[in-house]
Amino acid sequence: MGIRTGQQYLEKLNAMTPHVVIDGEVVSEKVAEHPAFRNVARSYARLFDMQHDPKYQDALTYTSPTSGDLVNASFLVPKTVEDLERRRRAISTWAESSNGFLGRSGDYMNSSLTALSTADEWFSQADPKFGENIRNYYEWARENDVLATHTLIPPQANRSVSGSEQLGGQLSARIVEEREDGIVIQGARMLATIAPIADELLVFPSTVLRGTPEDAPYSYAFAIPNDTPGLRYLCRTSLYNGGSTHDEPLASRYEEMDAVAVFDHVFVPNERIFMLGNPQLCNGFYSETGAGALMTHQVVTRTIAKSEFFLGLASELADSIGIDGFQHIQEDIAELIVDVEIGRALVRAAEVDAALNGAGVMLPKWSTLNAARNWYPKVAQRFPQIIRKFSASGLMALPGEADVNSDARTDIEMYLQGKSLTGPERVRLFKLAFDASVSGFSGRQSLYEYFFFGDPVRMAGAMVNSYDRGPVRARVREFLNRTD
């Protein structure tokens, strides 16, 4: 089959029968028509459609080595630096179309599956059939253009103990039965973004397992369809308030739902299991297989599009009300330019310094990507601050679309005009600024960029512990010993 159209994606979503809980309601059919999911599902449908658009098809697709069909380029196994560049072009084509606000475009999970599918030797340490299962699953996902999400971390009841120790081990999703034909899972995982509108859920290892036998039931990797019996999603309240694209330009398009994943005796068949019982191996699931590198390559590429968006928005705002000549405004615009350029430089440097791993996969340089993923969550917090600083009370002097189209228009034209924009144009721009810096949607975006790829505190610790500081420390010691 290969690449799907948006219509095919929506039809499949509407045909699924998941158990999605939201605001006191259980949604189990026609998910793509529910007000909380409808618009974002259509934004995802547009991504699928782009694959068929001659303008984007070359960038977004390549020919499947097995079927000869066109498939998404994020499934391309990179063997050369040119392949990595090709993957980046595809990722940035999608990211630029949503200005980086869709954190879970399919290329994120596709990148993970692509790397995992090449890691036969690593999987074979546990069981050769796991390598075969993940390869088959990757090929199936590639050929069917599957949209997957993932869930990794245990519930947050008590972080002073490991997930397997919380409430005597009863909270975290765990294997409660091993059968001839598969395993049974009971418990919960903390979060899965876009869960209601995805096809599949990847339940991959949390990377904080203790390497002890007690953690074996919590050590697994598998994938299940989103409407697997016993799987329930508990959604938060939507951050889209039902407004128009004028009034909620971002939330009305890109409000990606987050949900707790509850497993109530969920059966996982053998062919969908990729790892079982090996806490030590599970802890290396991302670092040892290359999945972490290809996922981070996707994340950094997407976030460049987002930084560019904030640079563009800040520049438009500054010009619209004549503040662009003030020095502190220019200082902030310069900061955004630097962020864009650092992001671009890091992703290019990681590609240029890429190297083949043991499986013959060209992986972007990890230490460079690791620097990017430790850097961006913090600088991204500045973006809404800058927008708020530029806009000030303009974010509150903000009538809605209905007012613009009412008798109030004369006042809006007169009193809300900008230096370079009419009143209605200025209102439209500031609505975007509001949704990017003040709305509930924007708050979630900041939280997302800060945490979704892991706790920055622990990521920093991991970087310090893994970074080879030996040569620079030796240089300092050598300098101290100098007598000249």
Ligand X SMILES: Cc1cc2nc3c(=O)[nH]c(=O)nc-3n(C[C@H](O)[C@H](O)[C@H](O)COP(=O)(O)OP(=O)(O)OC[C@H]3O[C@@H](n4cnc5c(N)ncnc54)[C@H](O)[C@@H]3O)c2cc1C
Give the interface with ligand X as residue ranges (CB under 6 A).
149-153, 156, 159, 190-193, 258, 444, 447-448, 451-452, 454-455, 457-458
CB 183, min distance to ligand X, A = 20
Compare residues 153 and 349 and give the one whose CB is closer to ligand X: 153
CB 103, min distance to ligand X, A = 7
Compare residues 322 and 443 and give the one whose CB is closer to ligand X: 443
CB 51, min distance to ligand X, A = 23
Listed residue (440, 427, 437) closest to 401, CA to CA: 427
Listed residue (364, 359, 362, 296) closest to 124, CA to CA: 359
* d(C-alpha 29, C-alpha 358), whole Å: 45
Compare residues 326 and 451 and give the one whose CB is closer to ligand X: 451
Q: Supply 174's token pair.
A: 């765990």
Compare residues 127 and 455 and give the one whose CB is closer to ligand X: 455
Inter-residue contact 349 to 368 (CB < 8 Å): yes
State the Cα torsion 11-199-3-51 to the nearest 10°.
90
* d(C-alpha 190, C-alpha 234), whole Å: 10
CB 11, min distance to ligand X, A = 24
CB 363, min distance to ligand X, A = 22
Q: How far is CA 194 from the centre of its chain?
A: 10
Collect all residues with Cβ–Cβ distance below 8 Å to 82 and sequence separation of at least 6.
Answer: none
Compare residues 159 and 328 and give the one whose CB is closer to ligand X: 159
Compare residues 93 and 445 and give the one whose CB is closer to ligand X: 445
Collect all residues with Cβ–Cβ distance below 8 Å to 114 and sequence separation of at least 6.
Answer: 74, 75, 76, 77, 138, 294
Query: Is residue 236 classed as helix, strand or coil in its secondary structure?
Result: coil
Collect all residues with Cβ–Cβ distance below 8 Å to 80 and sequence separation of at least 6.
Answer: 362
